[in-house]
Amino acid sequence: MNRLVAAIRNGRLPWRKVVLVTIVLAIWCAIVWRVVVVFNPSTMLGVFSSDSAIPVLMSNEDRPITIFNLYYYGAGRWGGWPFLFAQMARRITGYRWTDQSLFFAQAVWVLLGAMIIAGVAGVRQLLGSGSSSGGKPPPLP
């Protein structure tokens, strides 16, 4: 963080880039806020049912992690491993996960992943406006 501040003060970091990053982060935060407000489990669109209660129970489980837990999280449920990490976070911090907090963590995780993929792919690739081959598809093998 100190290097970033020093780069801004010395004029090595263009203000356009700082403004662009600030705008992108503001838009991302607005999208996260809107997703959390509209799709949270207490709304009509985000119905909280017994199926959506399982991840909350998995995240708050107090029993020791056994072979059954590894099966249940890994093979028995698609995508159950993040809740094992939520359980570890609960054991370390003592935080009790609710349906709202677990949904917020999932929403941030998904949207952060989308932002990282957008950064890796580049804006031109995501918009389909260009590629390294001049817009032509790659040759078939």
Reported as a single tens digit per residue, the pLDDT across 114-133 is 888 877 777 666 566 555 55
Cα 90–Cα 91–Cα 96 angle in degrees, nearest 5: 30
**What CA–CA distance (Å, rounded) separates 105 from 130?**
34
Cβ(73)–Cβ(58) under 8 Å?
A: yes
For residue 96, with 0-12 CB atoms within 10 Å meaning exposed, 13-18 middle and 19 or more buried, which class applies?
exposed
What ranges do the domains of the chain cover?
2-126
pTM of the predicted structure, to 2 decimals = 0.65
Reported as a single tens digit per residue, the pLDDT across 17-73 is 778 888 988 998 999 999 888 888 877 666 677 777 888 888 888 888 778 777 777
Cβ(82)–Cβ(109) under 8 Å?
A: yes
Q: Is the dihedral of CA 91, 97, 102, 104 positive or negative?
A: negative
